[in-house]
Copies of this chain bind each other. A is one copy, B any other.
Amino acid sequence: MSKEIPYKIYLEEHEIPKQWYNLRADMKNKPAPLIHPGTREPLTAEQMEPIFCKELVRQELDETTPMIDIPQPIQDFYKMYRPAPLIHATFLEKALDTPAKIYYKFEGNNTSGSHKLNSAIAQAYYAKAQGLKGVTTETGAGQWGTALSMACAFFDLDCLVYMVKVSYEQKPFRREVMRTYGANVTPSPSMDTEVGRKINAEHPGTTGSLGCAISEAVEAATGKEGYRYVLGSVLNQVLLHQSIIGLETHTACKKYDIRPDIIVGCAGGGSNLGGLIAPFMGEKLRGEADVRFIAVEPASCPSFTRGRYVYDFADTGQVCPMAKMYTLGHDFIPSPNHAGGLRYHGMSPVLSQLYADGLLEAKSYEQSAVFEAATLFARTEGTLPAPESSHAIKGAIDEALKCKETGEEKTIVFGLTGTGYFDMVAYQKYNDGAMTDYVPTDEDLAKGFASIPQ
């Protein structure tokens, strides 16, 4: 059934998946449940529903249903920017002079500039279906906020975004994209919420953090009639929606008889990596196929490679439930020279369990090496990648260079989650030779770990 493989594999519209895949159904060791910080008991649906939409709570807790139908309005929206191409990186292969075959799944062909839209549209749909007025969320670099504002425009929902203050000021263009889609964007910490006022009082002049913006968004949702909070990563429901990345990749691989030996993805909260590897990991769990999975994270925010697998708060303000995950402590903030995303202190509970079980590898890179890989990729494959995605590029390049040494013709697939068009300040630093690296010392990490509740 092997056919000639085009440079870019676009599935047909009717081949876009109509169901998401719930990897947890195939996991023997299920991810640990979210728990209530007071009682330390697993959260019930009733406890979660004031924060999250009802159907999303159901998905969050569902560990047994392997395939979940994608509602038709979400499928309709997916058609606007999906299928995403699986691209054979022949120009990069040539530049590396490697016998390896490199493919990448490109999720950046939409205005949000990333895969985040896959879950944003699902979460907006369920909010609308539940009759809500709007949703609240946080955003750091702005990809998730942009994706959510696009989804809310589509379903005519109010969209309140708490944007980390430093990004709000340094990335006014992301902010304007969100406003163009009708979102209301507030710099965080703000004076609109109790937690925001508290953080402002305790840390005057703070430029904010993702954990703090999450706290504000949750408070805003629970304090408003007809609003719920939505989150772009980490949660099981998000990985479920993002499985569409892996399902399309899997279909394309089957169609052209491409058999991945290694799948590489960047990992911040884990939404892209979890989605990309899902069906392949399912095969591995069911003993049907074997693939090496590699999570790549920044050396400056090394939750997998140097974090602890324990229960921790999802947010700085401690208004969220606790999750068992690889974490650097909810007070951990990467050093100020950190340019790219992937700055969350924790990691998806699903991926955390897989990593703890030895089913997933992880490695970390310093940012100047990541931007070097990004620049090589841009010049050979054409697309200017997001700094986040460039971690996966670097991971894939290193595996391809190993193949060059050994002469092995391995097939490497990586996730190109998005484009870097709103990250040019970081590129400028790199172009000017002014980018620096910083790997946290054990003392730095100890401060973060000290915030983990005992």
Contacts and interface: CB of A to CB of B under 8 A. Distances in A.
A382 B424 contact: no
A110 B419 CA distance: 10
Contacts of A110: 382-383
Interface in A374-415: 375, 378-384
Pick from A77, A176, A428 the residue with the most CB of B within 10 Å: A176
Instruction: Bin the interface of chain A by size.
Output: 35 or more
Interface stretch (A177-185, A275-283, A297-305): A177-185
B111 A176 contact: no
Contacts of A111: 378, 382-384, 419, 421
A181 B379 contact: yes
A80 interface: yes
A378 B180 contact: yes
A203 interface: no
A449 interface: no
Contacts of A79: 6-8
Given A80-B91, A421-B422, A181 B13 contact: no
Given A7-B80, A13-B6, A80-B91, A180 B381 contact: no
25 contacts: A6-B12, A6-B13, A6-B79, A7-B13, A7-B79, A8-B13, A8-B79, A80-B91, A81-B382, A109-B109, A153-B379, A154-B379, A172-B424, A172-B428, A173-B421, A176-B424, A176-B428, A176-B431, A177-B384, A177-B427, A179-B428, A180-B384, A182-B379, A421-B421, A421-B422
A10 B427 CA distance: 32
Nearest to A12: B6
A221 B266 CA distance: 43
Interface string A154-178: 1000000000000000001100110
A382 B120 CA distance: 13
- Copy number in this complex? 2
Interface in A81-123: 81, 91, 109-111, 113
Nearest to A13: B6
A435 B113 CA distance: 26
A150 interface: yes
Contact of A431 (B91, B113, B179): B179
A10 B7 contact: no
B427 A176 contact: yes
A368 to B, nearest CB: 14
A304 B101 CA distance: 51
Contacts of A154: 91, 379-380, 382
Contacts of A419: 111
A35 B439 CA distance: 63
Contacts of A181: 378-379
Pick from A81, A153, A375, A379 the residue with the most CB of B within 10 Å: A379
A241 B379 CA distance: 22
A348 B180 CA distance: 33
A176 B384 CA distance: 11
A180 B427 contact: yes
Contacts of A179: 427-428, 431
Contacts of A422: 173, 421
A231 B176 CA distance: 32
Interface string A428-443: 1001000000000000
Nearest to A11: B10
Contacts of A150: 382
